[in-house]
């Protein structure tokens, strides 16, 4: 505050959680800006839920402190923290009407019953389900139930909205739709939100900031583009999107570019964003979508681009896109995904593959 920096809405300071011998969350510092939507992303068991539940007060940190609005809340009991929580399976009270569900939190908040009615009505309108007050949760579809869960959480005007894989029980199409809605609603209300998911698409498309975790440790934090395009390590690159990993050695460094000799003997160019020097063993990460494939005979190499020759080894038609596995020889294979505009390549066909150095991201060998 002295530095004029805006006070974060939620802050973790050296937070750590151990269950018996399992360390679910390893010492972690992390801040969440007011009004932003932050996603905790990582494989199953990496500690996302645990972190979220510590904010909610459903788990107690083994070490470290949690702050909300600058106030340490470690010892505040759950029901006194003003939080909205949304669960994967909605957790609507099956024995209460929608009205009673949504009004539940207000009952404990000194709100007159007229106001309660008014607020519930507004919340239901906000989630675009006006008029369902008298139904039971079981009379609503999955997506509708999820919306009611939203309404129930936001109606209390929480300081922070916590969502643990709220969309993963929905089927693909509905999930995409709900993703947009949650996103819109969050922006509309400007409520600080922590969102847990292991679905990278969800994380990439919704977040202001993504925290990638692995085995209880922070791997990378940043906005979606930076996390996707500049993964800080192999794990992050592998976890997000379809990546090709090409190992090699830096053979030359010159004005913002690095030349890397890869296993096949080819030398590839990459932008130098990380301060690499000659002789460094590196890993080059290229997203499958960043390659372009051309029929061998039609291919004309472009100056300053990287290219390979190869043969289609396997392909998989996906409608909008086609996924190819291209054999480069010497046991190396790359995976490319291309939007299909013209014809499909046949298995065995000779192709040339090209990728811009701009899309070749280097990391130090781990």
Ligand X SMILES: Nc1ncnc2c1ncn2[C@@H]1O[C@H](COP(=O)(O)OP(=O)(O)OP(=O)(O)O)[C@@H](O)[C@H]1O
Shortest Å, Cβ 172 to its own copies: 8
Give the phi and the psi of residue 293 in degrees, each rounded to 5: -110, 145
Would you count residue 49 as binding ligand X (CB under 6 A)?
yes
Ranges within 157-216 binding ligand X (CB under 6 A): 198
Ranges within 234-263 binding its own copies (CB under 8 A): 240-242
Farthest-apart Cα atoms in the chain, separation: 77
Nearer to another protein, 194 or 286 (CB): 194
Would you count residue 228 as binding its own copies (CB under 8 A)?
yes
Query: With CB under 5 A as the contact rule, which of the stretches 14-22, 49-57, 89-97, 240-248 interacts with Mg ion?
Result: 49-57
Would you count residue 22 as binding ligand X (CB under 6 A)?
yes
Question: CA 72, CA 151: separation in Å to the nearest integer?
Answer: 27
Tokens found for residue 209 = 């900031």
The enclosing H or E element of 50 equals helix 48-56
Contact 74, 152 (CB under 8 A): no
Shortest Å, Cβ 285 to ligand X: 24
Beta bridge partners of 211: 40, 221
Would you count residue 321 as binding its own copies (CB under 8 A)?
yes
Nearer to ligand X, 44 or 342 (CB): 44
Tokens found for residue 105 = 């939190």
Q: Which does 278 bind (CB under 5 to 8 A by kind): another protein, ligand X, its own copies, none?
A: none
Shortest Å, Cβ 88 to Mg ion: 8
Would you count residue 87 as binding another protein (CB under 8 A)?
yes
* DSSP codes of every residue in 18-33: EETTEEEEEEEEEEE-
Ranges within 265-304 binding its own copies (CB under 8 A): 287-290
Q: CA-CA distances (angstroms) from residue 361 to 126, 241, 258, 263?
A: 42, 14, 11, 17
Q: Of the candidates 36, 49, 101, 338, which one interacts with Mg ion according to CB under 5 A?
A: 49
Would you count residue 60 as binding another protein (CB under 8 A)?
yes
Question: CA 306, CA 296: separation in Å to the nearest integer?
Answer: 15
Ranges within 159-178 binding its own copies (CB under 8 A): none
Shortest Å, Cβ 27 to ligand X: 15
Q: Which does 128 bind (CB under 5 to 8 A by kind): Mg ion, another protein, ligand X, none?
A: none
Question: CA 113, CA 107: separation in Å to the nearest integer?
Answer: 8
Q: What angle do CA 164, 170, 172 make, to 5 degrees?
A: 115
Which chain residues interact with Mg ion by CB under 5 A?
A: 49
């Amino acid at each position: 505050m002295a530095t004029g920096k805006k006070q974060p809405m939620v802050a973790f300071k050296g937070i750590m959680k151990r269950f018996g011998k399992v360390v679910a969350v390893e010492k972690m510092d992390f801040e969440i800006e007011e009004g932003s939507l932050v996603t905790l992303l990582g494989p199953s068991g990496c500690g996302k839920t645990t972190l979220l539940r510590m904010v909610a007060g459903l788990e107690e940190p083994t070490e470290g402190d949690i702050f909300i609005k600058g106030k340490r809340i470690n010892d505040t009991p759950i029901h006194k923290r003003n939080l909205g929580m949304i669960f994967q399976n909605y957790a609507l009270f099956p024995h209460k009407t929608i009205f009673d569900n949504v009004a539940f939190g207000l009952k404990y908040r000194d709100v007159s019953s007229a106001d309660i009615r008014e607020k519930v009505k507004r919340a239901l309108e906000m989630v675009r389900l006006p008029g369902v007050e008298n139904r039971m949760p079981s009379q609503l579809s999955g997506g509708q139930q999820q919306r009611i869960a939203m309404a129930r959480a936001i109606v209390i005007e929480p300081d922070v909205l916590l969502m643990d894989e709220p969309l993963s029980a929905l089927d693909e199409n509905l999930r995409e739709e709900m993703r947009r809605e949650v996103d819109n609603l969050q922006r509309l209300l400007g409520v600080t939100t922590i969102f847990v998911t292991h679905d990278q698409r969800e994380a990439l498309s919704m977040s202001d900031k993504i925290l990638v975790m692995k085995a209880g440790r922070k791997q990378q934090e940043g906005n979606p583009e930076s996390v996707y395009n500049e993964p800080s390590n192999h794990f992050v690159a592998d976890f997000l999107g379809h990546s090709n990993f090409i190992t090699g050695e830096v053979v030359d460094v010159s004005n913002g570019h690095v030349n890397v000799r890869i296993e096949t003997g080819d030398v590839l160019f990459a932008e130098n964003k990380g301060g690499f020097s000659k002789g460094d063993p590196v890993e080059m990460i290229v997203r499958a979508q960043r390659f372009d494939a051309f029929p061998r005979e039609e291919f004309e190499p472009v100056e300053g681009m990287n290219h390979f020759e190869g043969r289609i080894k396997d392909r998989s038609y996906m409608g909008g896109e086609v996924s190819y596995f291209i054999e480069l020889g010497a046991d190396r294979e790359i995976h490319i995904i291309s939007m299909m505009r013209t014809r499909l390549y046949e298995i065995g066909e000779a192709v040339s593959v090209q990728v811009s150095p701009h899309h070749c991201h280097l990391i130090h060998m781990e």
